[in-house]
Amino acid sequence: MARPERPGMFAALSVPSYPSILLAGWFWGICRWGVSFLGAYLANSMTGSARLVQLTGVAMWAPLLMGGVLGGVISDRFDRRRTVIAQFVVLVPLAAAMGVAGLADRIELWMVYVFLVAVGIGWVADMTSRRAIIYDLVGPSRLDNAMALESLSSSTGLVLGALVGGSAIEAVGTGAAYLCIAGLGLVALVLFARVPRVPRTTAARAESGLVAMRAGFRLLRTERALVSVLGVTAVVNFFFFAFTPLVQVVATDLGVGAFLTGVLASMVGFGMMAGSSFVARNQPHRRGRVYVTGSAMALVLLVPFALSPWFVTAALSLVVAATGMGLFGSTQSTLVMTAVAPELRGRALGLLSTAIGVLPIGMITLGELAEAVGARAAIVTSAVTGGLALVCWLLYRPDVARMTTD
């Protein structure tokens, strides 16, 4: 069978309303990663504890573990557009409230954790509803391109979130930084509100919530390819992404201030941009192999980042490792959505959210290890263990490595 002609790196932008959805996700990504950076920075500056820094990541990512499947059910049964708008309506005022508290020098650590939990709940809604809308809008022929652009958008959001967070803290303080995030969230809300209701490609099943959640979990028994994808996701999130709050601790060890800490954290986004751009431009036929290769690349190259004694070499190592994350992230949602029947996409994305949600468990584990042996040794241990776990999983469930665009 002849392969279809590649339509170009930005082909999905020609679909009406997709640019607004993509831009809304981009601004939301800046907000999300900015909140993540600010939370970790505040915890580190207030306490100096690797454990409490890691708990900021736990707070933001825990809702994905606890609410992923429920979010998938909501996506399949309720109006997805209204769900996405609702999370903006809640989070923008909360960000503004954090800004006011920061300007008054009244921010306490518990407030940071509570706000991060709220952002994590919004992330579940975004992942299970807005991304399902993208499929309904662009269709299967442009899904690879649309999701690669989505990953590229998230990556640039990570870069700008870290840079804006670090710059704002040094220039005007944490209160103004939170107000900036509130403003960007408002822009995302306005952009997404312009998107008309997108008809679903399939009708939602008329099931009770409990029955629907059970049906979602049953996919783990019947969909081998989906399980293979989710296993890789769980390994990478537990052993790779768990280190991200500890960038603050590594930066302190390197002797740099808030701005350069933001620069170091932004290297993850720059690397992911490179990997996502590759997928968007080339739309590789063997998307499963790209997914697996990117995962292995990220875990292996995290080791030189952790061991580097200099800021420049640490930054370069991190950007190369994160390029693998770009390959991983830009193919992940596509693999999940194409592994199941169309009417089950929301639930499959909910299971993906749950697999990503193992991240807070990894963060807790890594935080305790960092308290015992130091942040750098803990990151190396996590990366090496993760590489071995990935190999073992793929020997057990190799299905994902064989998935293609056919």
Cα 28 to Cα 358: distance, rounded to the nearest angstrom: 22
Cα 196 to Cα 191: distance, rounded to the nearest angstrom: 11
Per the prediction, the chain carries an average pLDDT of: 82
Domain count, the chain: 1
Q: Would you say residue 200 lies in a domain?
A: no
**Residue with more model confidence, 353 or 322:** 322
Q: Would you say residue 43 lies in a domain?
A: yes
Q: Would you say residue 202 lies in a domain?
A: no
Q: Would you say residue 223 lies in a domain?
A: yes
Q: Would you say residue 6 lies in a domain?
A: no
Cα 26 to Cα 33: distance, rounded to the nearest angstrom: 11
Using an 8 Å Cβ cutoff, are 348 and 226 in contact?
A: yes
Cα 319 to Cα 10: distance, rounded to the nearest angstrom: 24
Provide the whole-model pTM: 0.69
Q: Would you say residue 198 lies in a domain?
A: no
Domain limits at 94?
16-193+209-402
Q: What is the reported pLDDT for 5?
A: 43
CB atoms within 10 A of CB 311: 17
CATH code where residue 177 lies: 1.20.1250.20
pLDDT band at 183 (very low <50, low <70, confident <90, very high): very high
pLDDT band at 76 (very low <50, low <70, confident <90, very high): low
Among 58-67, 248-257, 297-306, the range with the most confident prediction by mean pLDDT is: 297-306
pLDDT in tens, 316-343: 999 999 999 889 988 887 888 788 777 6
Q: What is the reported pLDDT for 99?
A: 92
| Among 139, 141, 137, 162, CA closest to 20 | 137
**Residue with more model confidence, 387 or 278:** 387
Q: Would you say residue 10 lies in a domain?
A: no
Q: Would you say residue 116 lies in a domain?
A: yes
- Say if residue 40's pLDDT is above 90: no
